[in-house]
Structure 1
Amino acid sequence: MASSRLKRVEESATIKVANMATKLRQQGVDVVSFSLGEPDFDTPQHICDAACNAMFRGETHYSPSAGLPDLRDAIAEKLRTENKLDVKGSDVLVTPGAKQAIFEFMLTVLDDGDEAILFDPAWVSYDSAVKFAGANPVWVPTDATDAFKPQDLEEYITDRTRLIVVNSPGNPTGAVYDRQTLKNIADIAIDHDLLVLSDEIYEKIIYDREHLSIGSMEGMQDRTVTVNGFSKAYAMTGWRLGYVCARPDIFEGMLKIQSHSISNTTTFVQHGGIAALRGPQEPMAEMVKEFRARRDLLIDELNAMGIKCQMPGGAFYAFADVSEFGDGDRIAERLLMDAHVAVTAGSAFGESGRNFIRLSYATSLDRIKEGLARIEDALI
C-alpha cells in the first residue's frame, strides 16, 4: 500500500550494508566494517556535560521550532567568522541532523517535474530527497582522476533545472573542490538563475587544503542554502543536530515543514551544540589528526595491492577502483561473505561508481590493518 512517492525512493545502500554486517555479527562472525560514515570517537566530555546539565535543570520542554536563540546566534557567529557568510541568527534553522535540513529544503523549493543537478558519484540520500519532492535528479559526470570535478556541467542545464547540489569535502569520494571549481559552479548558477545547496558537513575533516563556502562568493549569498551539522566534526552522530541558513522565503518554507513535522530539535541536545561551538576545539583537532593517519595507511596499502585509489582531501572515505578484480557490486558482496569485510558498492552513489567500492576509515588503525589483510587475501 505504499504511495507512488515512496516507490520512487530506493533503500539506503549504506544502511543496508550495515544491517547485513550486524546480522553476521549476531551470528558470531567477526566483521571488519568500512561501511558507515560515523566517527568511532566518543563525543567530547564538555559537550555531554552541557547537555546533561541542561536536562537536569529542566530543559526538557519544547524549544522554538527554529531552535534556541543562543544556538542560532552561535551558529551565525561561526558562519560569519569561518565561512565568510553574511548571516544573522534569524537566518539559521536548527534541525535534527543535516539530512533533515536537506529533505526540508528539497520539499520547499522543488515541484513535480523539476530537475536537480547531482555530481556523479554523490551521497545516496540526495537522489532520494529529490525524488521524494517529486523532482528528477540529473547526474553530471565527474573526473575520477581530477578530484572528481564535474565535467561539462552547463550541458546538463535545462529549462526545468532548479538547483545544483554541491558537497565539498564530499561523500563518497573525499574530494575537496578548489576555488576555481566552485567559481565555475557559481558562475553557471548565476547565469541560469539556479539555487545551490551546499552541504558542508565534512568541512572540519580536511587535510592540507582550505575549505571554501560557495555561498561566500560574489553573487551567491541569496542563491546558496548552506547545510551543516555537528555529527562528523564533533562525533555527535546519534545526537541528531544540524542546521541550515537560507534567505527569508526559503527559510520560512523550511520552518513551515519543520513546525508541522518534527516541531523542534531536542532541547537539551541544542545546549550540547552551543558547547560544541563555543567550547574547546582541541578534541576535534585530535580526531582529524587520527583520521589523517588512518587515511594515509589505507590509501597507501590499497594502491600497493593494486587497488587504485586517489588520495582524498577530506572526510573519511576512500573511493577505490576495483575494476582490475571485478565490478564494485560483486567485489562488495565477495568481501562481505568471504572475507567478512563490509564495504559499500560504488554503484550506490551513481552510475559512475560501478567499478568502485567506498571504504570508511572511521575505525581504528588496528581494524583497518586487519581489514586490509583480509582484502588482500580475498582478492590478490
Structure 2
Amino acid sequence: MGRPPLNPRLAEFGTTIFAEMSALAQRTGAINLGQGFPDTDGPEEIREAAVRALREGRGNQYPPGPGVPELRAAVSEHQRRFYGLDVDPDTEVLVTAGATEAIAAALLALVAPGDEVVALEPYYDSYAACVALAGGTRVPVTLRPDGPDGGFRLDLDELRAAVTDRTRLLLLNTPHNPTGTVLTRAELTAVAELACERDLLVVTDEVYEHLVFEGEHVPIASLPGMHDRTVTISSSGKTFSFTGWKVGWVTAHPELLTAVRSAKQYLTFVSAGPFQYAIAEALALPDTYFTALREDLRAKRDLLAAGLADAGFTVHPPRGTYFITTDVRALGERDGFAFCRSLPERCGVVAVPNAVFHDDPEAGRSQVRFAFCKREAVLREATDRLRALAP
C-alpha cells in the first residue's frame, strides 16, 4: 500500500477516550463515571410510546428524510414553549441521528477547506474530528477557571482576537461539556454582536439545555440578528435518558437548514423511526418533568462534588450538564492521563482526562472529568472509594 489506509485528516485522533476508559471499566469492574450516560431509563410512558409505535408499524420503514412530521412539530412547539422562538416545522427543523450526526452534518455542509472554525475548548472530541473532515482549521478559545465560585469562564477579548478574515463560523456549546459552564445572556450577547459584525455563522450545541442548575439557558438564536445565521442543535438523549435511541435535531433558517440536510442525507439518510414518534410525545411532557429532572441531577451533582472535595480534589462546580471537572494537583498528581489510567486499580472508579478535549494537552493536563448522571447509590459508593485518595 502506498500510504496508510486512514484518511490523513483523521490520523491525529485514534480511538476515542470514551471507548478506552469504558473498556477499562469493564475489564476492571470499576464504577464508570467517565462516559456521560445514565444508568437508569427515562420515563416509562415514553418507552411505551416507542413500543406502541413499533407495534403499530409507525417508523418501521424509512421515515421521511427531514424527520416524521409529529417530531418536527414537537420540536417547533418546544422552541416556542421554552424560548419564545418561532420555528417552522416544515422548513426549519431537521431530525438527525443524535446531536453527533447533527454536528457532523452542519460542519461538513458549512465549512470548506481553509475555513477557520473558532471553538470553545475543552471541547467534545467529535468537534475536532468533524472540522478536520471538512478540511477546516480549528482555532481554540480556552475556558479557564476564574471567579469566586471556581467555575470556568469565557474570555471575550480572547474570542474576538481569535476571529480572522478566514473565520467561517463560531462553534459554541452551552451548557458546556466538560466544564459545566453556562454562558450568560451578557456573554452570548457579546458573541452575537461579534458574529453580526464579522458576518459569521454560529453552530451551537445545546443538548444540555434542560440541565442548568444556576442561571438560565439562552439560545443564541433568540438574540438580535442571530436567527438567520445560527444552526441550533439539540437531542433527546440527555433530557429523557434514552441515549441509545440517538434522536437529535437541527433548527435553522431555511437556507442554512437546506445546506445541513444536503450533508446529512449522505450520512445516515434517516434513522430511529419508531423512536421519533416517542420523542415527539416526550417533548410535550409537563413542566414538572423537566423541573424534576433538573433537581434530581442538581442533588447528584452536589453529592459527587462533596465527595470529590472530601477525597482531596480541587472541584470546579458546574452550573449545568452531567459533569464535574476537577484538578488532581491537590492530590500530588500532575498528569490526568496517568491518573485516570491508574484510578480503576487504585479505587475502582473510572474518570476521563480533560487533556483529550484540548488542542494543547498541557492546558488541561491536570484536569479530570467525572459524570454524575448515575444512581445515588452508585455515586455514594464511588465517593466512598475515592476517599481512599485523601492525603
The interval holding the TM-score normalised by the smaller chain is over 0.9
Indicate if the aligned counterparts of 2:311 and 2:386 stay in contact, CA closer than 8 A: no
Alpha-carbon distance in structure 2 between the residues aligned to 1:80 and 1:120 = 30
Matched, 1:230 2:236: yes
> Partner of 1:253 in structure 2?
259
Alpha-carbon distance in structure 2 between the residues aligned to 1:14 and 1:261 = 22
Deviations 1:211-252 (A, max 9, x none): 111110001111111000100010010111000012223211
Residue 38 (structure 1) shift: 0.9
**AA aligned opposite 1:265:** S
> Partner of 1:195 in structure 2?
201
Alpha-carbon distance in structure 1 between the residues aligned to 2:222 and 2:37 = 28
Deviations 1:315-355 (A, max 9, x none): 11000011222221122122123222100011011132211
**AA aligned opposite 2:230:** T
Residue 204 (structure 1) shift: 0.7
- Residue 186 of structure 2: SS of its match in structure 1? helix
Equivalent of 1:7 in 11, 18, 29: 11
- The TM-score normalised by the length of structure 1 is 0.94
Name stretches of at least 5 consecutive residues in structure 2 with no aligned partner: none
> Partner of 2:98 in structure 1?
97
Alpha-carbon distance in structure 2 between the residues aligned to 1:330 and 1:33 = 17
> Partner of 1:32 in structure 2?
31
Equivalent of 2:245 in 234, 239, 242: 239
Matched, 1:163 2:169: yes
Q: Cα 1:339–1:328, aligned 2, differ >3 Å: closer, same or farther? A: same
Deviations 1:96-134 (A, max 9, x none): 101100000000001112111111212221111111211
Indicate if the aligned counterparts of 2:314 and 2:327 stay in contact, CA closer than 8 A: yes
**AA aligned opposite 1:3:** N
- The TM-score normalised by the length of structure 2 is 0.91
Indicate if the aligned counterparts of 2:312 and 2:389 stay in contact, CA closer than 8 A: no
Name stretches of at least 5 consecutive residues in structure 1 with no aligned partner: 26-30
Q: Cα 1:199–1:229, aligned 2, differ >3 Å: closer, same or farther? A: same
> Partner of 2:346 in structure 1?
338
Residue 369 (structure 1) shift: 2.2
Alpha-carbon distance in structure 1 between the residues aligned to 2:287 and 2:244 = 20
Residues 90-129 of structure 1: pairs in structure 2 closer than 5 A: 90=90, 91-129=92-130
Instruction: Give RMSD over aligned pairs.
Output: 1.6
Alpha-carbon distance in structure 1 between the residues aligned to 2:16 and 2:95 = 24
Indicate if the aligned counterparts of 1:65 and 1:258 stay in contact, CA closer than 8 A: no
> Partner of 1:134 in structure 2?
135
Matched, 1:148 2:152: yes
**AA aligned opposite 1:83:** Y
Alpha-carbon distance in structure 1 between the residues aligned to 2:56 and 2:351 = 43
Alpha-carbon distance in structure 2 between the residues aligned to 1:261 and 1:364 = 35
Matched, 1:72 2:72: yes
Residues 274-285 of structure 1: pairs in structure 2 closer than 5 A: 274-280=280-286, 282-285=288-291
Residue 305 (structure 1) shift: 3.6
> Partner of 2:51 in structure 1?
52
Alpha-carbon distance in structure 1 between the residues aligned to 2:245 and 2:190 = 36
**AA aligned opposite 2:343:** L
Alpha-carbon distance in structure 2 between the residues aligned to 1:330 and 1:261 = 36
Alpha-carbon distance in structure 2 between the residues aligned to 1:334 and 1:9 = 22
Indicate if the aligned counterparts of 2:307 and 2:384 stay in contact, CA closer than 8 A: no
Alpha-carbon distance in structure 1 between the residues aligned to 2:136 and 2:293 = 38
> Partner of 2:367 in structure 1?
356
Indicate if the aligned counterparts of 2:78 and 2:284 stay in contact, CA closer than 8 A: no
Alpha-carbon distance in structure 1 between the residues aligned to 2:153 and 2:98 = 27
Deviations 1:72-115 (A, max 9, x none): 11101111221232311020000110110000000000111211
Alpha-carbon distance in structure 1 between the residues aligned to 2:115 and 2:14 = 19
Indicate if the aligned counterparts of 2:62 and 2:273 stay in contact, CA closer than 8 A: yes
> Partner of 2:22 in structure 1?
18
Alpha-carbon distance in structure 1 between the residues aligned to 2:241 and 2:118 = 30
- Residue 81 of structure 2: SS of its match in structure 1? helix
Alpha-carbon distance in structure 2 between the residues aligned to 1:37 and 1:164 = 25
Alpha-carbon distance in structure 2 between the residues aligned to 1:165 and 1:320 = 24
Q: Cα 1:141–1:6, aligned 2, differ >3 Å: closer, same or farther? A: closer
Deviations 1:247-280 (A, max 9, x none): 2232112222222332212221111111101234
Percent identical residues: 31
Aligned residue-pair number: 375
Q: Cα 1:208–1:157, aligned 2, differ >3 Å: closer, same or farther? A: closer
